[in-house]
């Protein structure tokens, strides 16, 4: 899959921030430098990278730190938002003509980009949506292209139209339009001829087709593997023929993914779909936000962050973190975190939101902590803490076997259960002390890092 190496490098940049609770402007600059290099290495357009890092930097320094988020999480959030914006923010659909009108889609692109395959993939998608597409073979230079389209149309069980290779593509398109009208097809997908490089003949031919039929959307198919070239190709096609949307193919390959990140920003043309394989079902609608999360490789963290924004009682969380930091976390705090957990739905959520905790916690640490406070045991745990004296709650060190017996009796539980809980509490405390990045989280701070 594309973006693997980019993902890895971005995550490294974030990892370096995670150890720090409070970030200086230099920390941010250093992280942004790493992010910039990662994007350039992924073949993202130079100007796009420059705009991107400037936007993140400005926002990072200019905004409030959200309650409940540590600065490192905040940087991840900004990078996610800016990546999404770079790719066009909203998902764009192919625009169909209203009512009974026939929508003509012209597929253009260089030879080998994946036009013919993508035309058939798209026809399949349209059919699923209840459209009645007609696949039209306008590539008369490559006889194999006509056969390839026919075979794919059969596989997709959609209608196919060809006049062989002896007619002009513009005449074929016009005849196909008439054929569609008679046969009740409401979408025409024209598969046009590509060339190895952009050339005038190809552009003239596309112009001619456009002047013959009323093309609703011209969709450019570009190969993601060609990186920067894909962006140049898109610009030229747009200047010469006009492009309404882009489909990026071969994103399943080991392309560095830069094209996906730059095309929209450079050309202003939305990416509609991405090709994720050779099979006819391997076409996915393009969601900029999901792609950004995929690139960041941290969808879960991002949803936790969202949750943090919406639900967390940040002042409480900050207080808890402060206590953890000073190794003062006691049974009272445990009770508070339990009630927050109830609100949030799980220890993992609350840990994700305690500034400085979430992102430094490994899976095994997390499951240990989860085990310590299994939700089903919450009520009993609360009963145990409620049976403690105020002194025991605020000073866990004084706990001893006599006290535990008394607590067990008070809570109506077995001594073994109290023993287990106290042990787990101590373990959790120890673990918290060891966790990286516990210096931050002072609630609301101005001026960013």
State which of positions 279-298 bind ligand GDP (CB under 6 A).
Answer: 282
Length of the chain: 449
Ramachandran angles phi, psi of 69, nearest 5°: -115, 135
Ramachandran angles phi, psi of 157, nearest 5°: 55, 50
Give residue 423's Cα distance to chain centre. 40
Residue 346 exposure: Cα atoms within 13 Å on the Cβ side = 10
Minimum CB separation of residue 152 from ligand GDP in Å reads: 9
Minimum CB separation of residue 289 from ligand GDP in Å reads: 21
State both tokens at 427: 């373990």
- Does the annotation list 191 as a binding residue? yes
Cβ neighbors of 212 (< 8 A, separation 6 or more) are: 170, 171, 173, 174
- Does the annotation list 129 as a binding residue? no
Does position 124 interact with ligand GDP (CB under 6 A)? The reply is no
Q: How far apart are CA 42 and CA 427, in angstroms?
A: 43
Longest dimension (CA), the chain: 98
Which of 71, 88, 275, 437 touches ligand GDP (CB under 6 A)? 275
* Helix, coil or strand: residue 219: strand
Residue 296 to residues 251, 289, 438, 448: CA-CA distances in angstroms? Answer: 16, 11, 23, 22
State which of positions 21-60 bind ligand GDP (CB under 6 A).
Answer: none
Which of 277, 410, 436, 443 touches ligand GDP (CB under 6 A)? 277
Does position 198 interact with ligand GDP (CB under 6 A)? The reply is no
- Does the annotation list 29 as a binding residue? no
Minimum CB separation of residue 33 from ligand GDP in Å reads: 33
State both tokens at 1: 């899959």
Which of 71, 124, 169, 194 touches ligand GDP (CB under 6 A)? 194
Minimum CB separation of residue 191 from ligand GDP in Å reads: 7
| One character per residue 221-260, x = contact with ligand GDP (rule: CB under 6 A) | ----------------------------xx-xx-------
Output the known binding site for GTP.
109-116, 191-195, 249-252
Which residues carry a binding-site annotation? Answer: 109-116, 191-195, 249-252
- State the residues that interact with ligand GDP by CB under 6 A: 109, 111-117, 194, 249-250, 252-253, 275-278, 282
């Amino acid at each position: 899959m594309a973006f693997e190496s980019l993902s890895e490098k971005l995550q490294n940049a974030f990892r370096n921030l995670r150890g720090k609770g409070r970030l200086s402007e230099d920390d941010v600059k250093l992280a942004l430098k790493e992010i910039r290099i990662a994007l350039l290495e992924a073949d993202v357009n130079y100007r796009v990278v420059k705009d991107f890092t400037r936007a993140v930097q400005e926002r990072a320094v200019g905004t409030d730190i959200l309650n409940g988020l540590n600065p490192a999480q905040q940087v991840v959030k900004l990078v996610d938002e800016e990546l999404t914006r770079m790719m066009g923010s909203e998902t764009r659909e192919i625009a169909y003509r209203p009512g009974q009108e026939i929508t003509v889609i012209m597929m253009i692109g260089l030879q080998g980009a994946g036009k013919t395959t993508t035309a058939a993939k798209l026809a399949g998608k349209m059919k699923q949506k209840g459209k009645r597409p007609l696949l039209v073979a306008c590539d008369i230079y490559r006889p194999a292209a006509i056969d390839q389209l026919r075979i794919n149309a059969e596989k997709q069980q959609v209608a196919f139209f060809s006049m062989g290779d002896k007619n002009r593509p513009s005449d074929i398109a016009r005849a196909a339009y008439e054929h569609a009208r008679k046969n009740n097809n409401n979408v025409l997908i024209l598969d046009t001829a590509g060339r190895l490089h952009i050339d005038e003949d190809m552009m003239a031919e596309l112009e001619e087709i456009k002047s013959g039929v009323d093309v609703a959307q011209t969709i450019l198919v570009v190969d993601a593997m060609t990186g920067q070239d894909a962006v140049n190709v898109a610009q030229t096609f747009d200047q010469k023929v006009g492009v309404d949307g882009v489909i990026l193919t071969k994103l399943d390959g080991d392309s560095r993914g830069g094209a996906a990140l730059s095309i929209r920003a450079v050309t202003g043309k939305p990416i509609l779909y991405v090709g994720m394989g050779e099979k006819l079902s391997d076409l996915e609608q393009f969601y900029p936000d999901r792609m950004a999360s995929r690139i960041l490789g941290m969808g879960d963290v991002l949803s936790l962050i969202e949750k943090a924004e919406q639900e967390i009682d940040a002042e409480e969380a900050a207080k808890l973190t402060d206590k953890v930091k000073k190794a003062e976390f006691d049974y009272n705090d445990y009770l508070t975190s339990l009630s927050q957990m109830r609100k949030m739905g799980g220890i993992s959520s609350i840990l994700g939101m305690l500034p400085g905790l979430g992102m430094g916690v490994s899976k095994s640490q997390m499951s240990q902590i989860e085990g310590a406070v299994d939700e089903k045991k919450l009520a009993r745990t609360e009963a145990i803490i409620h049976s403690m004296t105020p002194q025991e709650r605020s000073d866990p060190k004084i706990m001893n076997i006599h006290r535990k017996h008394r607590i067990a009796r008070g809570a109506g539980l077995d001594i073994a259960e109290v023993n287990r809980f106290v042990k787990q509490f101590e373990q959790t405390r120890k673990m918290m002390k060891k966790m990286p990045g516990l210096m931050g989280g002072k609630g609301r701070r101005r001026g960013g890092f």
